[in-house]
Each structure stands twice: as structure tokens, then as C-alpha cells.
Amino acid sequence: MSNAHTIALSACEILAAFEDGSLTPSAYLAVCLEEIARFNPKINALTSMDVEAAITSAAAATKRWQAGCPKGPLDGLPIGVKDLQNTKGMLTTHGSIRGRSYIPDVDLPMVAHLRAAGAIILAKTNVPEMGAGGNSRNPVWGATGNPFDANLIAGGSSGGSAAALAANLLPLCTGSDTGGSLRMPAGLCGIVGYRPSVDVVSHPTRPLGWSGISVLGPMARTMDDLTLMLDVCQGHDPDDPLSAPSAPDRFKALPSVALKDLRVGFSEDFGGAPVDQNIREIFRTRLDLLRPHVKECRTVDLNLGDMDRCFDILRAESFGVAFGEGVKEDPDSFGAHIKENVDLGHTMSLFDRGWAHAEQTRILRKFNGLMAEFDIIVLPTSPVSPYKWTQSHPNEIDGQIMDIYYRWLALCYRGSLTGGPAITLPCGRDHAGMPFGLQMLGPVGGDVSLLSAAKEFETLFAGSVETSRPLADMENLSPSDIDLRSIVTHPPELTAMTTADTGILRTAV
């Protein structure tokens, strides 16, 4: 089996090969490390790595598979973990100069679930500082470039995960989502990103335990891989009061759904968010392809309330709790986006906070009313094609000035307010030849039904050149015109060895 063929395998195909003996975890890891050595320097998706421990773990997994007794459903599969998520014994910087020497003693529960299932935590994936923004760049590791054009953004805040998947560096990666951090990078890199309902994957590090605005979730290249990972990640944690006990095999075998029975609603702009005219046109062509296959496909009014102000307050509330004291004590150790959110919070009152929570409740109830008429709602994921990574965010979209750095993410963060599940599927390319992501919203608590529908849409899209998942050509990808690591001002502080010819950072643990 050639390296090119091996690295393109899905996670499910890799695990099947482990089972039938045509591939071993050690051999697969070796291929991954070779691909990372060749291509990670081009896109800077992976940050800290623990190669030695991964090699040891892969050898143990190889023996278990050969003995017919794998540790769990992901045994021997190397994965990437978002650098906002604690991994025991591995550098976890959060893209912040405050965390550039931080090595956690314990795993985040989601990471622990993956490790217990046999996954090998090989690498951390790049993020914006503290996850703030849709461009994965920070002063510790630099910027992540898009595998389809390294000069352009991979999205954020799970941009490193999305880029690593699109570049075939790893088969599975973790993500998280407050205002689109799972969906936006998935859409811009041509992979699948899933924001589950708040109760599905426990999130005990959420700064406000009773607020479900932030969730954790899986990222993958295919729906089967995504649901395999989600089934492992699901579960309750007593420190997350919103999480629910896992249901065995809840996502392992999704019920079949007939496209011809689906009632589909659509919106180009989620109630008036600015969207580039070219993106609107691409979205309309996708609707034209979709209509003949579903029961109905009609426009839906998603003007659910003052969604932008509501999100601004809820986000500032969360940022204030998480970073307010730190910004007060040492403002120079935080970037502009963090301080902007904290400053915004200082302008808000208790009355504003109460209004935002009441408005989110009103938004939820209006959304529930709409979902009585539809099975899913589809819309674009991103309002623009990927832009230069040197730019923090778009300043203007379709003539509308962006008043804050995350306003361009409205197509995603407005959906976060409903509390329901949302997914982005790759759906061909946009007018600029970059990946186009189709976003799908489901009813609150309707994770299984949304995932079942998404699986059918994936099959439909795969049948057309125009809508099939685009594949990055890493062999011919030119490096970014500006070094992706040129913005590093505070590199990681740890005992480490940098392999100059590969760009791999090996963490001493």
C-alpha cells in the first residue's frame, strides 16, 4: 500500500485495515509522521508533538490488534487535539504567551475518553490566542495556512484541526465551538465539523457552567469518521451540569433517512447578516442541485431577534469571567481581541446580562416554532471566501463595516444561540476555487436526526463533481508568501528539540 493511498484512508478504513492485518498502527503512524514532516511546515497546522510516546503507543496497539484484542474502537489511531484542550503531559499553550510552558497533569474529559478508546494523542493543533477569532494565528506558534492556498486563512478557532485533516496529516481531530469555531474552519478547509447539542459532550472547563454557548465536538473528513469519534466523546461529567449520561452506541449506527421525505428550509443570510454576493450565488446553485431530491425546499425567515447584541453580551460575559482578572493584572500578556472582549463587558450592566439571557430564551422559542415546519435548515457557513492570513478579520462584507473582529462569523454564532446542533459539510468549491461549506441546523436535541440527514447529503454531494469534497494538493502547494511563523514573538518555553528539516517540535515529557 503506497503512502499516498494510506494517508488518504478514512479513520474507519484505517481501523478496518488494522483489524484485517493489512496495516498496523506502527506502519500507519510512520506514514503520518512522514507526511507531517513534509507538509506541516507549509501550513503550520500542528504545534507541539510527542513523537516518542506515540511510537511506543503504536507498537503496543500493533501487538493488541495482532492478538485480536484491541483496547477500544480507536486503538492505534493517531489524532490531533486542539491546543485549547488539556492533554496530560503535552504542552498546551492556548496560543497564549501566558501558557507557552504549560503542561497539564490531567486530560480534559473528552481527551480522556479518546485516549481510553485507544486513540494516540500525537499532536496539538493551532488556534487563535485563547480561541478568540476566526483566524488561527498567535504569538507562540504563528499562523495556520489553508491547505488549498497557504496564503489564506484556515479559519478558527479550530483552524489547525481543520487544516491538518484537509492535508491528510491526521485522520481525526478535536474542536470546540462558541461562535462557529468547529463549523467555520471546516467550511473553509473542506472537511466536516459538528457542533453538538450542549448536553452531548461534557465541557467541565467552560467558565460559566450553566451557559451552553460553548461546546466541544469532533472534526473529520467523512460523516462515518465523525460519528465514530462522537460516539466515543459523548458523556457526562459532574463538573458540567448541562451534560447528560452517554447512550451506548447512540451515534454508531444512525437510522436511515430518505432525502425525498425531508422538509428543508433555507436562508442565505441568517436573518440579514452580511454575505458576499459571490457566496450567495454559490449557495443558490447548491439549492438548485438539492431541490429535486427533497420533499420541499423553501425559504425561512431566521430573523429571530436581536441576535448580534445577545451574542455580544453572552460572549463578553464569558470572556470577562475567564480573562478579566488576568487582563487587569497583566494586560500586556493578552492580545487585542481578548482585551476588546473584556473591555466590552465593562460597558455592560446586570440589566444587559438579564436581557441577553431572556433574549436567548426568546430566540430559542422562535426557532423551535420554525423547526416544527422543517427537518433541517441550510445556509452558507462563511459569508466570504478565505482571505489573507495576515489580516485579522474582514473589515467589510458586502458594503457593511464589521464593528468587532468576530462580526463576520454571524452565520455561525447566530445558530449557537438556539442551542441546537449544527454541522458543516464540504460541498464543492466557491467562486475563488476554495472549499465551500454548507451549514445545516437541526432541532434542539435532534442530534441523531441531523446527523442522519447529513449522512444522506454527504452521499448526494459525493455523486457530483461540482459538490464532492474538494481535495487539497499538498504536493504542489506553494509556501505562504510570508512565513507563517514570522509573527511569533514569544515561542514556547520548554525543554524541546526542534527538528529543523521537518518543523516538528518534540516535547520533553
DSSP track, 419-468: ---EEEEEEEE-TTSSEEEEEEE--TT-HHHHHHHHHHHHHHHHT-TTTS
Helices and strands, counts by H and E, the chain? 14, 19
In whole angstroms, what is the distance from residue 97 CA to residue 93 CA?
A: 8
Predicted TM-score (pTM) above 0.85: yes
Please provide residue 441's backbone torsions phi and psi, each rounded to the nearest 5 degrees: -105, 140
- Work out whether strand 78-82 and strand 120-125 pair parallel, antiparallel, or are unpaired: parallel
Q: In a structure prediction context, what are the per-residue pLDDT tens digits for the chain, which is 509 residues long? A: 678 899 999 999 999 999 999 999 999 999 999 999 999 999 999 999 999 999 999 999 999 999 999 999 999 999 999 999 999 999 999 999 999 999 999 999 999 999 999 999 999 999 999 999 999 999 999 999 999 999 999 999 999 999 999 999 999 999 999 999 999 999 999 999 999 999 999 999 898 999 999 999 999 999 999 999 999 999 999 999 999 999 888 998 899 999 999 999 999 999 999 999 999 999 999 999 999 999 999 999 999 999 999 999 999 999 999 999 999 999 999 999 999 999 999 999 999 999 999 999 999 999 999 999 999 999 999 999 999 999 999 999 999 999 999 999 999 999 999 999 999 999 999 999 999 999 999 999 999 999 999 999 999 999 999 999 999 999 999 999 999 999 999 999 864 433 232 333 333 22
Please provide residue 121's backbone torsions phi and psi, each rounded to the nearest 5 degrees: -80, 95
In whole angstroms, how far apart are CA 273 and each of 186, 303, 312, 320, 434?
20, 10, 15, 26, 21
| Domain 3-507: CATH superfamily, name plus number | Amidase signature (AS) domain (3.90.1300.10)
In whole angstroms, what is the distance from residue 332 CA to residue 38 CA?
A: 36
Q: How many CB atoms are closer than 10 A to CB 210? A: 9
β-pair partners for 145: 153
Please provide residue 146's backbone torsions phi and psi, each rounded to the nearest 5 degrees: -75, 135
In whole angstroms, how far apart are CA 311 and each of 42, 200, 358?
35, 22, 12
β-pair partners for 426: 437
